[in-house]
Each structure stands twice: as structure tokens, then as C-alpha cells.
Amino acid sequence: MSVKNLMALGKWLILGSSLLLTACGTTTSVNKSVSTEKSVVHNYTHAGTGVELWYNFMRHNMGKLSKEDSKKQNQAVFFALDNLEEGKIVAWHNMKTDTHGFVKIVMSYPHGSGYCRVVFTQIKKKSNARDFKETACRDVAYQGWQFIR
């Protein structure tokens, strides 16, 4: 191989590895709270067999919020992010499904050209309860909240 070809190959390797390293250091941001998507059930059995796998699948699906509950949870999270002071709580309740939740703003801090807020959420569906901790950030370059994952 000529020196010119080796230099070109070296440049491509450096570029490729720097892109990979950049991707590893970035966080994913989404517009939706994880608490609206996850199941309230979080203690599964060891899935060593097909029966246990099926059991976990059914528990997960039974613990997911209904569309109406998910909408109420999402509204509560965004209301809290937009309106609540640190330490304040907003609650929601759906009498039809016996599901309710609480959203609390724990802290806020500056970030870039905007700020971030840490949110604690608890959702109770029948006899199951689950706690969530999320961070959402708002920047002047982007309209709305971005949840950091």
C-alpha cells in the first residue's frame, strides 16, 4: 500500500472512531415521560422458561396504564414542569380504573441556555405502585421539554 492510501485509511479510522466515541457520550432526549409508558409492575420472575416469560409478559401488560390514565399522567407531569415550584405536588385520579398518581418537582438547575428539572413520580394502579425519577430540560433553541434518558 502506498503512503497516500495509508494516510487516507488512517483518516477514515480516526473519523469513524471519533463518531463512535461521540455517540457513546451523548444522552437520548425524548418528548414523553417514561412514567406514561412503563408498567406499574416491576418485580418479575426469573424468565428461564417459556411459562415464566409468558407470565412476565402478562404482568407487564396488565400493569400498563390505560390510554386515559397515561394521558392524565402526562398532563400532570407537564403541568408540574411548567407551573410548580420545587417541593410542590400535583395529583391525578381516575375513579373508573382506580388508578392515581403524584408528580413532584424535586429540584431545578441551569443547563446550557435553559434549565432542567428533576421530577419524582409515583403511580398506583390497584395494588401495584411504582416510583419514577426523571430529568426534563428546556432550552431556548427547542420549544418544549426534553426528557433525558
What per-residue confidence (pLDDT) applies to 1? 57
With respect to residue 22, please indicate whether it lies within any of the assigned structural domains: no
With respect to residue 11, please indicate whether it lies within any of the assigned structural domains: no
Cα–Cα distance for residue pair 116/31, rounded to 1 Å: 14
pTM higher than 0.85, yes or no? no
With respect to residue 113, please indicate whether it lies within any of the assigned structural domains: yes
Residue range 10-23: average pLDDT?
45
Q: Is 15 strand, coil or helix?
A: helix
pLDDT band at 40 (very low <50, low <70, confident <90, very high): low
**Mean predicted lDDT score pLDDT of the chain:** 76
With respect to residue 3, please indicate whether it lies within any of the assigned structural domains: no
Question: For the chain, how many structural domains are there in total?
Answer: 1
Q: Which residues pair with 114 in a beta bridge?
A: 111, 139
With respect to residue 109, please indicate whether it lies within any of the assigned structural domains: yes
What per-residue confidence (pLDDT) applies to 83? 96
What per-residue confidence (pLDDT) applies to 77? 94
For 34, the grid coordinates are 417514561
Q: Which domain holds residue 101?
A: 28-148
Cα–Cα distance for residue pair 53/77, rounded to 1 Å: 32
Which residue in 99, 85, 83, 81 sits closest to 145, CA to CA?
A: 81
